[in-house]
Structure 1
Amino acid sequence: MWTGQPVGGGNNPGVPAGTHEVPMLFGGMAPASFTRMAKWGQGDIAGSLPAQFVADHFEQARAAWKDSGRAGQPHPVALAYFALGDPDQGRANVGDYYAGAGEFTDLVMSGVCGTPEMLKSTITSFADLGLDELIFNPGTDDVDDIKRLADAVL
């Protein structure tokens, strides 16, 4: 795709000449998702669950990477929700978003960081898994939560 050559039997290149490769992260829990990540991706991204529930996920990603013969390690990325101004509303919003996902909904809601202490604990728990990157997603539309997040973790 990134060579600028025609893709899929067509006459058009997949990307314009001079394009730089975009590092792709793959997510998913099925064995095929780890295989795809190891073949085409630069890393793996887990769902918005607390660290203890995605530790095995990253082990599977590392194993698939090794099994594919790739050098080094995949770039692991995690996601975590936060709602510092109104944690109850943040959990409710996240619950609404994942409604119908059964136990997964409860697990995601349990990981919504509602205090600076929980933010710091979440960061530590993912760092302990050897993660390179943790993305915080806001659970509300309160733009002041971004400042609260920065004040708590920077």
Structure 2
Amino acid sequence: MSATGGAADRHPQRLAARARLGVSLPHRWARRPADLSSVGEVARQAEALGFADLWVTENTTDHATCLDPVVALTHAAAVTSRIGLGVSVVVLPVHHPLHVAHQWACLDALSGGRVVLGVGLGREAHLRDFGVATERPVRRFLDGVQAVRALWAEDRATVTGELVALEDVGIGLRPSSGVGPPLWFGGMVPASLRRAARYADGWMASGHSGHAEFAGSVAVLGQELSDAGRDPSTYPISKRVFLAVDDDPARAEARLRGWFAEVYRDADRALVSGVAGRPGDVAERLHELVDAGATHLVLNPVGHHAEQVDALAELAGLR
């Protein structure tokens, strides 16, 4: 029995019928030079194939080549008309909430309301790089979330956070809805999941997290949502998945391991966190993540984006 046939037998439903499927734009390259022309090409391709949304990350001080998320998604918005646009995650404590609120309100308006803004704490090194005090990062993060939402909701906002305060301030363009884009949180530790359940509109697990770790986090998040009086069945749960699809599984694994070695400096993490192999085998692993609770997947090829996006649409049943 072929790998594809086996997956189909175990999961008669198409992957695209079980979860919303996003795809990562080519925006982070392990090696230079980067193929910048592929950003718009893949955006148009993904929209034509029926993917739900396009995703980028924020890695300003990365050792790899990485585009700024606002710039990359603005370019993608300009060459598409329907597909969603998301970032996971903006390291909120290193930005002033005024800039974040204004930038993402503008992108949401220019794209016709297609934006999801993922935000996270980041690491201590991020704060040091930007000259931000490393004390009380969680308080700074939550104050920032409060400020962004207030700036979106009010003509003139006053925020009295402990580390972020605004007095009678407005931004140049507010969301027409008065609510703004959905705010998704990252983070895998129990405290992060509790914050996501209380304050976020959705949650995304990182691509570096393992599949077993994801399943455990989903269980914790579900309990936290129930404790917060929120319905887990209507709350978006997402997982970024680094992957390589190839009819030659050894070649797929080598490509994935090489990417993890260069970007994360941990080749052995590749098959813990990522997926590599024949189309049917990759589909099976993605179904397992949906079985574990994912309602949305960000499929993140580690190279050959145009070719991989086409293969992913095929194995997911988008065409």
Shorter-normalised TM range: 0.7 to 0.9
* Partner deviation per Cα, 1:7-66 (whole Å, 9 max, x = no partner): 433322366152443112212122221122122211221122453331111111112222
Contact residue 158 and residue 169 of structure 2 kept, 8 A = yes
Q: Match of 1:11?
A: 168
Contact residue 75 and residue 132 of structure 1 kept, 8 A = yes
Query: TM-score normalized by structure 2?
Result: 0.42
Q: Which runs of 4+ in 1 moved over 3 A?
A: 107-110
Alignment counterpart, residue 32 of structure 1, candidates 191, 206, 226: 191
Contact residue 83 and residue 114 of structure 1 kept, 8 A = yes
Q: Match of 1:119?
A: 282
Contact residue 116 and residue 153 of structure 1 kept, 8 A = no
Per the TM alignment, residue 76 of structure 1 is displaced from its structure 2 partner at its CA by 0.8
SS in 2 for 1:79: strand
Q: Match of 1:22?
A: 181
Q: Match of 2:225?
A: 65
- Of all paired residues, the percent bearing the same amino acid is 21
Query: Which ranges of structure 1 fall in alignment gaps of 5 or more residues?
Result: none
- Superposition map of 1:80-119 within 5 A: 80-85=241-246, 86-87=251-252, 88-99=254-265, 106-110=268-272, 111-119=274-282
Alignment counterpart, residue 293 of structure 2, candidates 121, 126, 130: 130
Query: TM-score normalized by structure 1?
Result: 0.80
Contact residue 260 and residue 269 of structure 2 kept, 8 A = no
- Number of residue-to-residue matches in the alignment: 149
SS in 1 for 2:303: coil
d(CA) in 1 for partners of 2:284 and 2:316? Answer: 11
Contact residue 51 and residue 122 of structure 1 kept, 8 A = no
Per the TM alignment, residue 132 of structure 1 is displaced from its structure 2 partner at its CA by 1.0
* Residues 92 and 23 (structure 1), Cα distance of their counterparts in 2 relative to 1, 3 Å cut: same
Which structure carries more strand by proportion? Answer: 2
> What one-letter code is carried by the residue in structure 2 that aligns with 1:153?
A
d(CA) in 2 for partners of 1:133 and 1:64? Answer: 19
Larger radius of gyration: 2
Alignment counterpart, residue 78 of structure 1, candidates 211, 234, 239: 239
d(CA) in 2 for partners of 1:60 and 1:54? Answer: 10
d(CA) in 2 for partners of 1:139 and 1:26? Answer: 23
Query: Which ranges of structure 2 fall in alignment gaps of 5 or more residues?
Result: 1-148, 160-165
Per the TM alignment, residue 92 of structure 1 is displaced from its structure 2 partner at its CA by 0.8
* Residues 31 and 53 (structure 1), Cα distance of their counterparts in 2 relative to 1, 3 Å cut: closer
Contact residue 218 and residue 293 of structure 2 kept, 8 A = no
Q: Match of 1:148?
A: 311
> What one-letter code is carried by the residue in structure 2 that aligns with 1:18?
S
* Residues 93 and 7 (structure 1), Cα distance of their counterparts in 2 relative to 1, 3 Å cut: farther
SS in 2 for 1:11: strand
d(CA) in 2 for partners of 1:117 and 1:72? Answer: 33
